Amino acid sequence: MHIEIDQSGKIEDTSHDTVVAFSNDVNHSVVMRARDKRRVEAIFRRMGKRRVFMYKLFAILVFLLIKPYLARIDVMVIDTEYPDWEHLIKDYLLRLIRRVRPSFDARRISFRSVGRHSGAHAIANGTARGEMAYGREASLREVMQYV
């Protein structure tokens, strides 16, 4: 399965929810509430890791999004949300994936602009606007398992 992943509502914008979604023959989305993002940010700040908060949280949300589908994913294209930090995001995402699928090939993950015409973009934005139901909510407790 080839999937494209997009985000609506930047991680660092802690006054708005963030939605991460993918699209193909299957569509799925994960939402993280603004209040929970603020709590995660405070925890990162206390740990002295404020600068990597948004990149690690983005990787965690992508992982939570794709985890049920890992066995079926052949190619994963992630929208370029944080261009200079893709190496860190990919590294952290691979660490999470390999906890459950140790042989997952890093070459399956790439970054590029998925564009406004992508199904993932439509799902992420539609969910953020309340026009579509989200697949699931990422809880603070669940996210903290992976920090």
From the centroid of its chain, how far is CA 93?
Answer: 9
List Cβ neighbours of 15 (8 Å cut-off, separation of 6 or more).
34
CA 42, CA 76: separation in Å to the nearest integer? 30
Q: What is the pLDDT of residue 135?
A: 87
CA 35, CA 58: separation in Å to the nearest integer? 16
Q: What is the pLDDT of residue 51?
A: 87
Q: What is the pLDDT of residue 26?
A: 87
List Cβ neighbours of 109 (8 Å cut-off, separation of 6 or more).
76, 78, 90, 93, 94
Per-residue pLDDT of the chain (147 residues; tens, 9 = 90+): 999 999 999 999 999 999 999 988 888 999 999 999 999 999 999 999 988 999 999 999 999 999 999 999 999 999 998 999 999 999 999 999 999 999 999 999 999 998 788 888 889 988 998 888 888 999 999 999 998
